[in-house]
Structure 1
């Protein structure tokens, strides 16, 4: 059974953010991820990790103006300087948190934008980001996001992401395989997991279609997680789901799949 990272943006939201680290540790998690760390000083987050014996698995680069609906900068022509500043900010946090990888959000397609120009901008930014992160010994992940969650998102399918990764050919550029997004956009999750496994640097899960606990919905996670084991996955699986009720009340799947609550 793979190891799991609690996504603290979505789980334990009954608590203030910095209190979620100890809540996750108390339930048996040893890894955490979240969308963005930038509201907090890196030293405060590093202390929360160390105090609770946790390891940071992943976070996202700054996405632009999230409240205004922006979902990344990478595909947006004319925003390169802002993108570069966001990249440097992410590097600072990754080093402080000893986080081995970050996820680059592609951004939403502007209305009536030229598709070829968007792709050129995206690839140029991905290349520059991956090279910069390689200097620090870090990985860069690309994650396709389904049309129902983000209707205008630039990076939609596993095939699209894989083609870009293979085209750029950088060893630290990896696919972030989210079972939920793959199911909602394309289906054939196990087939695509097998096909693209050599490119995968991080995985995430959630029940489909409601994005609640992984023991709810149409995906057979015991089968999919066993497949990850069969394929030799050595990473962690981020629990990027919205609990249907209180987080702790929904962790029956965590217990059933071999995790004992309480600090180890």
Structure 2
């Protein structure tokens, strides 16, 4: 049976952030994701999640200036100290909120940095993150991101992500497979999911083009969801899309899976 989570950084933005867990629960979600739960006190998030009766499936390690168009932290040589501070902050929040998984965004290093050096930096930072989160019994994932939306993103295919994960060599490090990003970069979604199911720690989705809800683009989500449901996958499937209207009006796909 599929277990869906709602990404509250993109869905239910019609209401204030701390009211979104309850909105997601009313809509039928049992879990939520928050990209960066650092603008509110962790205790406030904890109350909102507990009162709504939802689990926190995923959040990200702080990514510095990445979301504002900068390089980010994890894969950028020279920013190792900043990244370790970000991991410390993420661990403090994780102790309270107990997310199932923490995601690390590789970033978009400046072309002045040699790619191999960036990969070495990212691998070391991922190893550190996996060690810190492993002490809290929390999984770590990293994702491949398409370079159409994010030019210069360091890890842009599932193959590159798996090579990186192999380089790091930590048992609690797996891939966050984003269906939207991988449809843009490589397609072959179901084959990849089936082939690498054991190495996938979290799945996210949006349709393409547009990054809107299922049914607005080219992806045959009925088949994709059917395939995931048949796999020995034990994680959540996260709705991380830009609603084409009010969030509640874009959840027809969720009703179809109940």
TM-score w.r.t. the length of structure 1 is 0.94
Shift of 1:133: 1.2
Q: What residue in structure 2 maps to residue 43 of structure 1? A: 43
Contact 2:66–2:108 (8 Å) recurs in 1? no
Greater relative contact order (CA < 8 Å, ≥ 6 in sequence): 1
Let me know the Cα RMSD of the aligned residues.
1.2
**CA deviation map 1:80-128 (0-9, x unaligned):** 1111010011011111111121000101120322112111111111111
Once the two structures are overlaid, the 10-residue window that deviates more, 230-239 or 175-184, is 230-239
Contact 2:213–2:244 (8 Å) recurs in 1? yes
Q: What residue in structure 2 maps to residue 218 of structure 1? A: 218
**CA deviation map 1:23-81 (0-9, x unaligned):** 11111111000210010100000000000101000011001024642363111111111
Match status 1:141 vs 2:138: no
Unaligned runs of 5+ in 1: 259-264
Unaligned runs of 5+ in 2: none
Task: Give the direction of change, closer, same or farther, for the CA distance of 1:193–1:172 in structure 2 (3 Å limit).
Answer: same
Aligned length: 258
Q: What residue in structure 2 maps to residue 193 of structure 1? A: 193
Q: What residue in structure 2 maps to residue 232 of structure 1? A: 232
Contact 2:208–2:218 (8 Å) recurs in 1? yes
Q: What residue in structure 2 maps to residue 11 of structure 1? A: 11
Name the CA distance, whole Å, in 2 between partners of 1:128 and 1:15: 36
Q: What residue in structure 2 maps to residue 106 of structure 1? A: 106
Name the CA distance, whole Å, in 1 between partners of 2:18 and 2:70: 25
Q: Which aligned pairs between 1:70-81 and structure 2 lie closer than 5 A?
A: 70=70, 72-81=72-81
Shift of 1:158: 0.2
**CA deviation map 1:187-228 (0-9, x unaligned):** 111121122212000001111111111122111111111111
Q: What residue in structure 1 maps to residue 181 of structure 2? A: 181
Name the CA distance, whole Å, in 1 between partners of 2:231 and 2:167: 24
Shift of 1:154: 0.6
Q: What residue in structure 2 maps to residue 164 of structure 1? A: 164
Q: What residue in structure 1 maps to residue 84 of structure 2? A: 84
Name the CA distance, whole Å, in 1 between partners of 2:166 and 2:33: 26
